[in-house]
Homo-oligomer: A and B are copies of this chain.
């Protein structure tokens, strides 16, 4: 069995000093890798651990190959190559939903947009006319800046296109929602992206000690866990044992 784990978070450059990133540390991904190795299963052939440079890494082991990817594009390229060759993917990395298109300013926007119609403004906002010309470091002395962000490709939707038989474990992070809402959104994403299993969590509930999550499979079986450690255990057992979220997992529920 060859397993891919994506872990940590991507970042997207604003210029060559500044970047937009997220709070993901890679701790959960590293714990899943460690747990898989610790099970000492002869069926486990290789783990490809894709993460950003600063992400937490698993313990060194011959079965683990580390791959560094910083931007969404880096992850996309690595997965396009690996997914067809692997049996399962645990896609725990927080992928930037947006990347930087250009940088503008109030001054420039005011100059260019004054007196324009809706249609003209729509066109101008995607043109070169409102961009501050700069590929290097943007000066610290502007009165303000406007950064336009555009969506990155949804990698999770590509995975089953690249390999329809790969086992896909996805993650969905929401903020400050009720458990029912979290389950709903995660189940919808699971269907849309053809995930086999999805881990749904809420950033406002995650602390150093606790990491509450709902783990949901295609048949809407739900397991509720409370720590990163249990998330890692449930996923490893699911992958290496029987690929189903059986009622015995209730052991892990709160």
Contact = CB atoms under 8 A, between A and B. Distances in A.
Interface of A: 11, 14-23, 54, 94, 96-98, 101, 106, 109-111, 113-118, 121-122, 125-126, 136-137, 140, 142-151, 173-176, 203-204
Contact of A122 (B94, B106, B173): B106
A118 B115 CA distance: 8
B145 A17 contact: no
Contacts of A116: 113-115
A121 B117 contact: no
A176 B136 contact: yes
A17 B175 contact: yes
Contact of A21 (B18, B97, B98): B18
B150 A144 contact: yes
A145 to B, nearest CB: 4
A20 B15 CA distance: 11
B111 A125 contact: no
Going nearest first, the 6 A-B pairs with the smallest beta carbon separation are A137-B175, A97-B140, A136-B175, A114-B118, A145-B149, A147-B147
Given A19-B22, A136-B175, A148-B144, A117 B114 contact: yes
